Amino acid sequence: MTDSTIQKSLKHNVIFNLLDGASFGFGLGFASFTTILPLFVSTLTNSALLIGLIPAIHNVGWQLPQLLTAGKLSRMERYKPLVMLMTINERLPFLGFAIVALLIPKIGSELALILTFALLIWQGLGAGFTANGWQNLLSKVIPAEGLATFLGIQSAASNLLGSVSAILAGIALVNIKQPYNYPAVFLAAFIAFIFSWLFLNQTKEPPRTISPAQINSMPMWQNIRNILHRDKVFTGFLVSRFISQFGMMAFSFYTIYAVKKLGMSNITVGIMTSILFITQTVANPVLGWLADRWSRKWILVFGGLCNVLSVVLALLIHNTTLFALPFILYGIANTAYWTIGMTIALEFGSFEEKPTYVGLSNTLAAPATFFAPLLGGFLADLFSYSVTFYVSIFFGVVTFFLLIYLARAPLNKIEVNSQK
């Protein structure tokens, strides 16, 4: 595979992958894992524990399999066939959500709840088994010097379209009569994901030639042990990434807290989701630009500060309009933790080791991603949402100091280059 081969299809691949990202974001706005789906599940159960599991299942499903697929992907000549097959499993469940929501009057809330969580697990794992191959596919068809810019634009397009569909979802939930309102928004999400799949399928991927020398014969777990033993900087980064999940667990309950305790309307919930998407649309390119030109570490520290302030304001604010502030601060924190965090993960290790480093940074964070909202829901059920928020603040402060003193990752582009 030569640079000329990539350049020949570059414009085509850029256009269709941007369309893929935009339509995927449009679909997510109709069925957000942090607002719309928790709101739907709240009509089936009062358990804050179960509601808190929704984003946890999605995030863990996305993270956990990535290290498991690294070895197989390193031996593949073309990623696209596997990506197109596996991504069906992260899209089809949304049609299932629509069917379950429509059948609630006949099957009852208990069975609907079980089926909903079965679909959530299917969707999460489908996303996880797609994620590593999808990232490798993009890095293969988009030149390395322009990949970060492309991902920033794609993310912005996804969040912008998602903010529009989130408002439409809020309007639909109010104006479409039950039991057809939730089936309508889930079906709209599924249709958007179909278009996204069709756009992604237009990607032109040239095959690559793999020599035996490029294949790492060392057992995966031995390689992992060696990395964690010798790279103390990376280990510190992993610790901060793990604890940060508990600092962000309060956000899983923002929507339900605002609806039940502050009387927020469904339309306002849609607006809040839109505000979150818009915040991340702006934050992704801005924080990325600052991280490249100033300091990746201190952008993470700034994200940690925004996370703590977000939860503090969620406790203090009693006006549903002003509740947009916690959403905005969370959007900034989430962008810093994940977008900049993933960028930092790519700076560790040699070229051959990068898939393992990236897999570790995601897979080892998966237990915290799962148990953090579980802990938050348990505390909310046992005590109150306020207790969940206070515990989240505690872990957020711990993360803030861990990021300062432990996460001594490459600080900026100059330092990264000097280390290579």
Block residue for tokens 């020599």: 211
Nearest-angstrom CA–CA distance, 156 and 158: 5
Q: Are 53 and 215 in contact (CB under 8 A)?
A: no
Nearest-angstrom CA–CA distance, 376 and 248: 10
pTM for the predicted model, two decimal places: 0.75
Q: In 10 A of CB 89, how many CB atoms?
A: 18
To the nearest whole number, what is the mean pLDDT of the chain?
Answer: 84
In the chain, what are the domains?
Answer: 3-206+219-411 (1.20.1250.20)
Find the distance separating the first CA and the last CA of the chain, reported in whole Å.
Answer: 24
Supply the DSSP symbol for 204: -
Per-residue pLDDT tens digits for 250-267: 888 888 888 888 888 878
Rounded to an integer, the average pLDDT of 361-389 is 85
Q: In 10 A of CB 118, how many CB atoms?
A: 13
Instruction: Give ∠ CA 307-313-317 in degrees, rounded to 5.
Output: 155
Nearest-angstrom CA–CA distance, 19 and 158: 9
Q: Are 373 and 257 in contact (CB under 8 A)?
A: no
Whether the predicted pLDDT of 165 surpasses 60: yes
- 264: Cα separation from own chain's centroid: 25
Nearest-angstrom CA–CA distance, 101 and 108: 10
Whether the predicted pLDDT of 227 surpasses 90: no
Block residue for tokens 């607002």: 35
Whether the predicted pLDDT of 167 surpasses 50: yes
Question: What is the three-class DSSP state of 278?
Answer: helix
- 155: Cα separation from own chain's centroid: 11
Distances in Å between the Cα of 45 and the Cα atoms of 108, 181, 247 are 12, 18, 25
Per-residue pLDDT tens digits for 94-115: 999 999 999 999 999 999 999 9
- pLDDT bucket at 362, cuts 50 / 70 / 90: confident
- pLDDT bucket at 212, cuts 50 / 70 / 90: low
Whether the predicted pLDDT of 410 surpasses 70: no
Whether the predicted pLDDT of 35 surpasses 50: yes
